[in-house]
Amino acid sequence: MSKRFLLWFALILLASEGLTQTSTPVALSPERALVLAKSGRCMEAIPLLKKAIVQSSDKEFRRNAGFAGVRCAMMKNQLDLATEFLRQLTREFPNDPEVLYTAVHTYSDLATRASQQLATAAPNSAQAHELNAESLELQGKWDEAAKEYRQILQMNSQLPGIHFKLGRLLLSEPNPPADAAEQAKKEFQQELQIDPSNAGAEYVLGELARQAQDSDGAIQHFSRATKLDPHFPDAFLGLGMAFITAKKFPDAVPALEAAVKLEPQNPAAHYNLGLAYTRVGRKEEADRQFAIHREMVAKSDERENAKQGMNSPQ
């Protein structure tokens, strides 16, 4: 074998090695991942995007890669990966309008796909009927929704949550029957027999008792709701208001302080706490709560006036 041939062969090997070394970084580069995603080659792009997001220190690139990852994963029906990319975006860019917009549409699309899958896989299941009932309720088709909820109870009378939803539906109707409150009360009571930990049912029973001027009953139900869910601001507010009605002002103060702490932007909580402070002789603290309430109401009025001004014909 001639020296010229050996030299030629060695040059070929060196050239091929060089091509291999330069081609690898190009194929795995972050930019390459975005190019693949934009060109629709999502199966190739997704693993590269995942690696690039972890390895890159460029926030703008990670943002663009996150968007590309969500689009590609949804396109390929890889729903777990879509939520993984979306979590990365919402974690790093929690207040970015485009990220929030993408989150709304992605979760809506995920919900639609899951509902379609449920309708296909188990159309006669209690869960499928419940989903249909909720949809009818949103459309204002109260009687049809109630029929669906009652059909679920015929299938499984002990299914948690259904009596609660039926009771809520009875109270939501625009033109309820005269005995709607009494019917709803029975539904919530039945719900608590099935699920004694339902704080929402206790809360609504408290509201119904308060509206019926049954202060003792309201206090009992609201108290149970706050114990079942210590992070339920409306339950603490209802409890405080029930104590005020019953003229048990010292008991109202801690309940209303909890309501203000849990939901500081609720003007009703500040106002009622001001009332309770007044009744127990804490005038300075009462004045502070009334001032906060006035400021909140004024700001709310300003927003409402601005909104009406924007909607009024020019």
pLDDT in tens, 70-99: 999 999 989 899 999 999 999 999 999 999
- 26, pLDDT greater than 90: no
How does pLDDT run across 31-78, given as a tens digit for each residue? 788 888 888 888 988 898 888 888 888 899 889 999 999 999 999 989
Asked if residue 5 has pLDDT above 80, the reply is no
Query: Which contacts (CB < 8 Å, 24+ apart) does range 202-207 have?
Result: 202/228, 202/235, 203/232, 203/234, 203/235, 203/238, 204/167, 204/168, 204/171, 206/235, 206/238, 206/239, 206/242, 207/238
Encode pLDDT of 269-314 as tens digits. Answer: 999 999 999 999 999 999 999 999 999 999 888 777 776 666 655 5
176's tokens? 């309820």
Q: How confident is the model at residue 23 (pLDDT cuts 50, 70, 90)?
A: very low
Question: Left if phi > 0, otherwise alpha if psi is -120 to 50, otherwise beta: which for 45?
Answer: alpha
